[in-house]
Structures are given as C-alpha cells and as structure tokens.
C-alpha cells in the first residue's frame, strides 16, 4: 500500500465518520416528555418513555394537584383542588400537542418531543 493510498483511506473514513456523527446529532430526539407548568413556569418534567409509574405533587394557584404518569406513556391529573374538575376528566395526554389544563390552578401539562411526527393538533 502506498503512502498516498493510506491518506486517501483516512480522508474517506474521516468523511464517513463525520456524516455518521452529524446524522446522529440530527436525529437525536429527546424521548416524549411531559412538561408541567404553573403560571408559565416549568415545575416538573416527566419522561413518558420511562416504564416506571410516577406520582407528582404540584402546588397550583389554588392548591395542590396530583399528577400520575402511568408508565405506559400517558399522564393525567388524578386530584385537584379546583371546583369544576375539568382537568381530572380530561383525556390523559400522551402525544405531542396533547394538553391537560386546569385554568383555576393555572396549571398545564404539555407533551413535547418528536412523538408521532405531527406538527400540531387541531382540537
């Protein structure tokens, strides 16, 4: 093998490695995350791809809320101090665009991440 051939090989390998690395960077996705906000401030984030069920105790504008991630990709409000309990009766959130809202507590759970490839949800 000539010296120039070796240089050629190194150049090609470097180029290919560069492509692989940038491909990984481009397709690096944080899994599907649930972000809990009270009054626009993030108070908790939950990785919905985790198999571990999680219970969160959050303080809303009115009082405490209990939020449960079931370990199967869904998250919902199970208890709230609000009067109408719209948040408790909302369909659990699991895909980007889904929201669980408690207006009296000024609390919102949004789902962020690549998920199902949908840009926005008409609802």
Question: Which residues of the shown chain bind other proteins in the complex (CB under 8 A)?
Answer: 4-5, 8, 11-12, 15-16, 18-19, 21-23, 25-26, 35, 37, 39-40, 74, 84, 86, 91-92, 94-95, 97-99, 101, 103, 106, 108, 110, 112, 116-123
Toward other proteins, which CB reaches closer, 54 or 113?
A: 113
- Find where tokens 């009270």 sit: 38
Compute the distance between CA of residue 111 and CA of residue 75 in angstroms, rounded to an integer: 9
Task: Give DSSP secondary structure letters for 77-93.
Answer: EEEES-SS-HHHHSPPB
Toward other proteins, which CB reaches closer, 26 or 51?
A: 26
Question: Going edge to edge, which strands form the sheet with 107-112?
Answer: 41-47, 33-38, 107-112, 99-102
Toward other proteins, which CB reaches closer, 54 or 106?
A: 106
């Amino acid at each position: 093998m000539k010296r120039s051939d070796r240089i050629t090989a190194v150049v090609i390998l470097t180029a290919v490695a560069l492509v692989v690395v940038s491909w990984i960077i481009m397709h690096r996705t944080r899994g599907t995350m649930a972000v809990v906000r009270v009054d626009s401030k993030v108070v908790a984030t939950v990785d919905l791809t985790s198999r571990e069920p999680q219970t969160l105790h959050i303080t809303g504008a009115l009082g405490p809320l209990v939020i449960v991630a079931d370990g199967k990709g869904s998250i919902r409000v199970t208890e709230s101090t609000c009067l109408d309990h719209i948040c408790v009766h909302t369909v659990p959130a699991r895909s980007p665009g889904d929201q669980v809202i408690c207006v009296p507590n000024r609390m919102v759970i949004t789902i962020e991440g690549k998920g199902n490839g949908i840009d926005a949800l008409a609802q």
